[in-house]
Amino acid sequence: MKRVTGFIENTMGIIFTVCGFLAVGFVVLITGFLVVSGLPAIGEIGIIQFLFGRVWASTASHPSYGILPFILTSVYGTAGAIVIGVPLGLLCAIFIAKITPKHVGIAVRGAVDLLGGIPSVVYGLVGMIVIVPFVRKTFNLPDGANLFSAIIVLAVMILPSVVSVSETAIRAVPKEYEEASLALGATKTETVFKVIVPAAKSGILTSIALGIGRSIGEAMAVMMVSGNVANMPSLFKSVRFLTTAVASEMSYSSGLQRKALFSVALVLFVFILIINLILNLVVKKERE
Amino acid sequence: MKEKISMSRKVKCTLLNIIMLAACAVICVILLGIVGFVVYRGAGNITVDLITNKPSLLKGTIGILPNILNTLYIIVMTLVLVLPLGVGAAIYLNEYAKNKKIVKLIELATETLSGIPSIIYGLVGMLIFVQFINLDTSLIAGSLTLVIMTLPTIIRTTQESLKTVPNGYREGSLALGAGKWYMVRSVVLPSCIDGVVTGCILSIGRIVGESAALLFTAGMANEVLGIFEFFKPKMSGSSLTVALYMYAKERGEFEIAFAIAAILLVLTCAINFLSKAAAVLLKRKGSGK
């Protein structure tokens, strides 16, 4: 009896250990597969040509594989989404954490969480039907599916992460800070902006990093509103992101084109890893 | 008292307050706008015919029954696979692991996983499950991809719940002569069930909303699959989100797309509500003991 129990104990211990290391295994597996399938094309095309080539013409008779347009589009699109989304989300977070009565805050927070749960294709659909025609008419363009529309959709999509993480960070600031500031004669609003927000800085930075991660990785919604042509980015031109480059050509690609798409994914993955690294450093700094 | 605050400070504060209120209002308007618009365009198109038929050129029917079923299959299959793995990992991290560095490493890996965008999951899922393991584009390949994607969620919520189980429970059980596994099974697991449930709800939310990871792994077919067919290899099928994308982007059939979007929104609301309820329960338990 004792031996059987001991055997079961050991087996379960091993099983749990395996489960525990599964996440590590998955990360290694994903990295491995991306590197192995992404590197050959980079080698074939040449890393300088690949990363800094300005022309992507994968199906032309003399194909050219330069992904600079995708990289820049992703960077500009994310930057634009951050510029619009972060101030909006941050102000809202401050407002519901410190200024409004509690039940209003809870209601708005619920709305924000709901916004975060909406599937990206629904954002894409609404963007396609509402934003794209709106942009076309307002700016008098032949087609409204461009970088600007994508930035608007992305800005809305990053709002939930920005609001919820910033709000949590702002709420976590010790009450004494606020009381001390109020006692010194600062108004509530001054206290919030000059004492509480600086104290919650690292949480707010985390929320921005999450927003960057979300917007640089978004594929489907962006694909539906950005027009999907491999132009060098410009606000009112149809553009293609790193993510949409992978998604749009994968289904019919072959040969070097297909390999090059894996390389694009590898570049995207590296971007995400860098953002995660920065995020981790920020969080670590905060803990210290 | 009030006169001691200078006029310019007062104006500045009021202005800031108004700007904050405006930001808040904009966000609420965006949400109401999206929900209102989708319901307005979509609700009228949700008919019994639509949700009980499959699209067929011969019969001239349109329908999203296959997509509803596929979504359900994928949810069930993913959860069945990810639950034991995720709960096991959380138990390892919280109960078994002694080396702090190993725990750090695993937590770093989980964070990395949760930061990877779904299009990368889609691509890697295609490389691993569709091509390398040769499952073809199939619901099972899609589910396996989603298993990797939802693993961090399950681990995190279970771990949070495990942390609320008082150490006295564990010590009491061990003092009575129970082995570690016996202690986990009879004391720890039953007390962390709420965390597991929360993890499930969040995962379902993520699976329902997922499209990029499924596009190249689960495929785009619109056939009704029998209950025993769906876990076989080579049975491809599109989920609701993928179907929405195909109807809107590739075929321009916006009535169906909006009907699907409305259904997805209802599901999102329901999942949101459930997760809030679960969080309240979790909190009550955490403070109650």
Residues A194-219, mean pLDDT to the nearest whole number: 90
Residue of B nearest to A193 (CA): B16
For the ranges B49-63, B87-101, B181-195, the lowest mean pLDDT is seen at B49-63
Provide the token pair at B184. Answer: 């986990």
Residues B123-137, mean pLDDT to the nearest whole number: 88
Residue B89: which of A13, A20, A265 has the nearest Cβ?
A20
Per the CB < 8 A criterion, the answer to whether A12 and B181 are in contact is yes
Provide the token pair at B57. Answer: 């050129």
Q: What is the pLDDT of residues B238-249, one digit of tens each?
A: 889 998 988 888
Q: Which CATH entry fits the domain spanning A68-287: 3.30.70.2660, 1.10.3720.10, 3.40.190.10, 1.10.510.10?
A: 1.10.3720.10
Backbone angles phi, psi at A96, to 5 degrees: -80, -20
Q: Is the pLDDT of residue B59 over 80?
A: no
Residue A20: which of B93, B258, B264 has the nearest Cβ?
B93
Choose, out of A220, A269, A274, A275, the residue to mutate when testing the contact with B (most B CBs < 10 Å).
A220
- Work out the number of other CB atoms within 10 angstroms of the CB of residue A112: 24
Looking at residue B49, its pLDDT comes to 79
Say if the Cβ atoms of A224 and B271 lie within 8 Å: no
Measured in angstroms, the CA of A140 and the nearest CA of chain B are apart by 23
Looking at residue B289, its pLDDT comes to 45
Per the CB < 8 A criterion, the answer to whether A163 and A89 are in contact is yes
Say if the Cβ atoms of A23 and B113 lie within 8 Å: yes
Q: What is the pLDDT of residues A81-129, one digit of tens each?
A: 999 999 999 999 999 998 888 888 888 888 898 998 899 999 999 999 9
Tell me how far apart the alpha carbons of residues B180 and B178 are, in angstroms, rounded to a whole number: 7
Looking at residue B286, its pLDDT comes to 59
For the ranges A264-278, B180-194, B222-236, the lowest mean pLDDT is seen at B222-236
Residue B112: which of A121, A224, A276 has the nearest Cβ?
A276
Q: What percent of chain A has pLDDT over 70?
A: 98
Say if the Cβ atoms of A92 and B27 lie within 8 Å: yes
Residues A249-270, mean pLDDT to the nearest whole number: 86
Q: Is the pLDDT of residue B234 over 80?
A: no
Say if the Cβ atoms of A268 and B124 lie within 8 Å: no
Backbone angles phi, psi at B189, to 5 degrees: -60, -50
DSSP A195: I
Total H helices, total E strands in chain A? 14, 2
A31 or A53, which is more confident = A31
Q: What residues of chain A lie within 8 A of the CB of B245, using their CB?
A: 121, 124, 220, 224
Q: What percent of chain B has pLDDT over 70?
A: 92
Cβ contacts below 8 Å, chain A against chain B, sum to: 252
Q: What is the pLDDT of residues B244-274, one digit of tens each?
A: 988 888 888 888 899 999 999 999 999 988 8
Distance of CA B224 to the CA centre of its chain: 24
* Rg, Å, chain A Cα set: 23
Say if the Cβ atoms of B27 and A213 lie within 8 Å: no
Tell me how far apart the alpha carbons of residues A65 and A48 are, in angstroms, rounded to a whole number: 11
Q: Is the pLDDT of residue B198 over 80?
A: yes
Tell me how far apart the alpha carbons of residues A152 and A14 are, in angstroms, rounded to a whole number: 49
Question: If we measure between CA atoms, which residue out of A128, A214, A143 comes closest to residue B244?
Answer: A128
* ∠ Cα B211 B213 B216 (to 5°): 100
Q: What residues of chain B lie within 8 A of the CB of A23, using their CB?
A: 89, 106, 109-110, 113, 151-152, 155
Residues A182-192, mean pLDDT to the nearest whole number: 89
Q: What residues of chain B lie within 8 A of the CB of A96, using their CB?
A: 24
A83 or B184, which is more confident = A83
Q: What percent of chain B has pLDDT over 90?
A: 33
B4 or A220, which is more confident = A220
Q: What residues of chain A lie within 8 A of the CB of B85, using their CB?
A: 19, 22
Provide the token pair at B166. Answer: 């008082």
Coil, strand or helix at B61? strand
* ∠ Cα A193 A97 B113 (to 5°): 100
Looking at residue B85, its pLDDT comes to 94
Choose, out of A121, A192, A252, A273, the residue to mutate when testing the contact with B (most B CBs < 10 Å).
A121
Say if the Cβ atoms of A29 and B128 lie within 8 Å: yes
Residue of B nearest to A216 (CA): B117
What residue ranges do the domains of chain A occupy?
2-39, 68-287
Tell me how far apart the alpha carbons of residues B190 and A34 are, in angstroms, rounded to a whole number: 39
- Split at pLDDT 50, 70, 90, the class of B230 is low
Q: Is the pLDDT of residue A155 over 90?
A: yes
Tell me how far apart the alpha carbons of residues B274 and A106 are, in angstroms, rounded to a whole number: 16
* ∠ Cα A58 A60 A61 (to 5°): 125
Choose, out of B4, B10, B11, B27, the residue to mutate when testing the contact with A (most A CBs < 10 Å).
B27
